[in-house]
Amino acid sequence: MRIKLSSAISTLVVLVISLASIAGCGGGGSSSGTGGSTGRRAFLSMGTAPVGGAFNVVGGAIAEVLNEQKGDNNWKVQAKGTKGSQANIRGLADGKLQLALSNSAISYFAARGESSWDKKYDIRAIVTLAPNVAMFITKQGSGIQSLAQLKGKRVVVGPSGAGFEMFVAPLLEAHGVTYDDFSPMNNTQSGAVDLLADGNADAAFLGGAVPTGSIIQACSSHDIFFIPFVPKVRQTLVEQYDFFQPFTVTKDKYSDLKEDFSGLNVGSMHLITSASEDEERVYQLTKTIWEHRAAIAAKHPAGRAINEKNAARFTGTEFHAGAIRFYKEIKIWPEESVADAASKSTEGPAEAASETPAAPEASEKDASKKE
């Protein structure tokens, strides 16, 4: 009996030692660890948006480059289609996502627990990407010449559940208009153009990269009027909200523009993560994205926004410590040029160019591509 018990104990000890050795080999598939060459492989899910929008394609391009150019980093990045910015932010919070694309206006309110958010979400920015230039349009002859004249009208304000109200509402309120003043309608951008064409909508809020396909579509079908922003109100919005940025749309972008349009970037696309994400991993992700920005630009024009003036631009969401460390190393972090910024402070907010600046490494062929 003692022999059998002794033999059983010996077997158990050997089994425990073997299991400990296997565990120490680190062959797991979780997203824990830094994802470096000596750590366990990190599987990183990146939330994008439904197929058909820019987020889905841009996220795929970034994921591909991160995987192709990972070097010694032991990670696997997978871009996943989601319902968009709001779903992505919640996905970061519950750990289903490690990276995500978002509209910076939606991130702004999520980080503060304001607008329609139920709480403050602890998110951080990694890189600021392409601008989202949007405006209200109507058909010539509609009688609508200003945003104030949207009162009592049927207005398409974006897809249901997309979070557009987070930048549309403050924009309209600054012009003295609330959602209660008109009949808000939800639809896709192409659907909004159809509603305008059929006479079932009086105006629509459209935008994205410049030029935007839906606005081109509208101009090709009808005589379109671009409803202007009041200059002083536009300036106030830029000063009040970090995600708003002045943006001039040159008249050559749309056939119905008779002169350059003083527009607004209503919230740049940006790559975000959770505040708790490993600093070294985020540092390496930021470094890889920056060093291979030309490859991203070759896959999608949004990559051209990864440049010295835009990548570390603050849009209202705090940057992750890992990203800050890298941007300071390459001397593009804003505090590195405080003196230069101070000298320009009296000039007012910088006016964005009519196109996203090209990354230094991007070729003319890459830079000429449009979404």
Hey, what are 151's tokens?
């009162």
Burial class (CB in 10 A: 0-12, 13-18, 19+), 54: buried
DSSP string, 228-245: PPPHHHHHHHHHH-TT-E
Residue 248 is classified by DSSP as E
The predicted pLDDT at position 352 comes to 58
Distance between CA atoms of residues 53 and 49, nearest Å: 7
> Regarding predicted confidence, which is higher, 99 or 163?
99
The predicted pLDDT at position 345 comes to 38
pTM: 0.79
Domains of the chain from N-terminus onward = 42-130+268-367 (3.40.190.10), 133-265 (3.40.190.10)
Mean per-residue pLDDT over the chain, rounded: 85
Mean pLDDT along residues 158-183: 95
**CA nearest 192: which of 162, 161, 218, 165?**
218
Tens digits of residue pLDDT in 208-255: 888 888 999 999 999 999 999 999 999 999 999 999 999 999 999 999
The predicted pLDDT at position 358 comes to 34
Confidence of residue 4 (pLDDT cuts 50, 70, 90): very low
> Regarding predicted confidence, which is higher, 367 or 34?
34
Confidence of residue 258 (pLDDT cuts 50, 70, 90): very high
Residues 6+ apart with CB under 8 A from 171: 229, 237, 244, 264, 266
| Cα atoms in the Cβ-side hemisphere of radius 13 Å centred on 159 | 14
Confidence of residue 351 (pLDDT cuts 50, 70, 90): low
The predicted pLDDT at position 7 comes to 53
Whether residue 159 has pLDDT greater than 80: yes
Whether the CA torsion 286, 292, 297, 298 is positive or negative: it is: negative
**CA nearest 68: which of 295, 282, 279, 280?**
295
Hey, what are 64's tokens?
């591909």
Percent of the chain with pLDDT over 90: 71
Bridge-based pairing state of the strands 154-156 and 99-103: unpaired
The predicted pLDDT at position 363 comes to 30
Which segment of 64-68, 117-121, 199-203, 334-338 scores lowest on mean pLDDT?
A: 334-338
Mean pLDDT along residues 250-278: 97
Hey, what are 19's tokens?
């299991």
Whether residue 89 has pLDDT greater than 80: yes
Tens digits of residue pLDDT in 117-150: 999 999 999 999 999 999 999 999 999 999 999 9
> Regarding predicted confidence, which is higher, 194 or 358?
194
The predicted pLDDT at position 209 comes to 82
Whether the CA torsion 285, 357, 264, 257 is positive or negative: it is: negative
Whether the Cβ atoms of residue 39 and residue 33 lie closer than 8 Å to each other: yes
Confidence of residue 160 (pLDDT cuts 50, 70, 90): confident
